[in-house]
Structure 1
Amino acid sequence: MQQYLESTEYIDWKNTEVLARAESLAEGLTDLEAIARRCFVYVRDEIQHSWDFERDPVTCKASDVLEHGTGYCYAKSHLLAALLRANGIPAGLCYQRLTISDDGDGPPFCLHGLNALYLEEHGWYRIDARGNKPGVAADFCPPTERLAFPIVSEGEADLPEIWAEPIGPVLNVLSTQTTYKAVADNLPDIQVVTANQ
């Protein structure tokens, strides 16, 4: 479980500003689930999704997301993991593979970033602080998952891993693209292998 509590290059919760925000979000609370909910709502509602709000710069590190108040889903998940870890709540990164086609069915696909956190009462629980908008209503209500996007089309998938660190395809895009539009034109994807078909 220790890897899901560490401060790292991208989930840099020991950064002064990130730690201060984590402490302010936990103020007056002792219950870890209540602290987790407050951190989730903060990232979902107060950090603007780069595409929805047409915001630059492209952020990746939790501290940069906090500083600029914007990020793609991946970057927002890095900040949420940092805020949770700073409060002693194990948190990791999860991904979905979703279609981005205009008709909502089939290729092209991209990865979508979200989080899982560990709560003693519920075990691992996935949350999606991407940011709500018409048609997207993610929430924090353990043990029930309320994610931003359901898996509905062939080729889409909930990837089962809970990563302690961001995966390569995500880091590659966030570190090489310099505008929110460029990220949108180069969204990361991976191939999903399905056995026994």
Structure 2
Amino acid sequence: MFCSDECRLFTLNESNRERRIPRTGNCEICGSSFRQKRATQKWCSRECMWKDASYVDRRSKSLAKLAEDKSSTCLEKWLYEALEECQLNFRKYVAIGAFIAVALLIDFNIIIEVDGAYWHRKHASKDGLRDMILAKKGFTTVRFSDEILKSKKLAIPILCDSINEIIRLQLSGGHPPSGSPYRVFWSSERFRRNFD
């Protein structure tokens, strides 16, 4: 292909120089000019990326497929049993934007999460940010800890009673009592406070 190593290196260096020239692109969402890190980059920021309906749709589909393949933890299995016992209309592993909700009460826009202390102790700030984002989208997030749900025999009644209480509170506009076995982050239509 090349007559010598010198000719080969010269050709490679020239093609590398072309790649290093900064590319600029126009954001498909806001139209602003930005420096592209990759030739396929379409957006100037993550904010614009999440405003792109086609990207969100693709991302939701891939998350939904991932959710279908996910196996449930014992806490999640207890939650699903409690929801079935309460005869509530719910869906498992629902993709909402960039997140997967463990359970969604369809009729009430309530997301229910069961958190294992080992994993979620390290990620409490991420969970709070996630709850805020979902609240802006109109969802109320309820979190139960494995510290309360110690066994199936104890967990199902606690989950049933608490979920029914949360639904009643959401419909009436009330507040959870102190010492509740759950944390609630109400949707933005209602409150922007996290009750413990």
Bin the TM-score by the shorter chain. Answer: under 0.3
Q: What TM-score results when the alignment is normalised by the length of structure 1?
A: 0.26
Bigger Cα Rg: 2
> Which of 1 and 2 has higher RCO (CA within 8 Å, sep 6+)?
1
Q: Which protein has the bigger helix share?
A: 2
Q: What TM-score results when the alignment is normalised by the length of structure 2?
A: 0.26
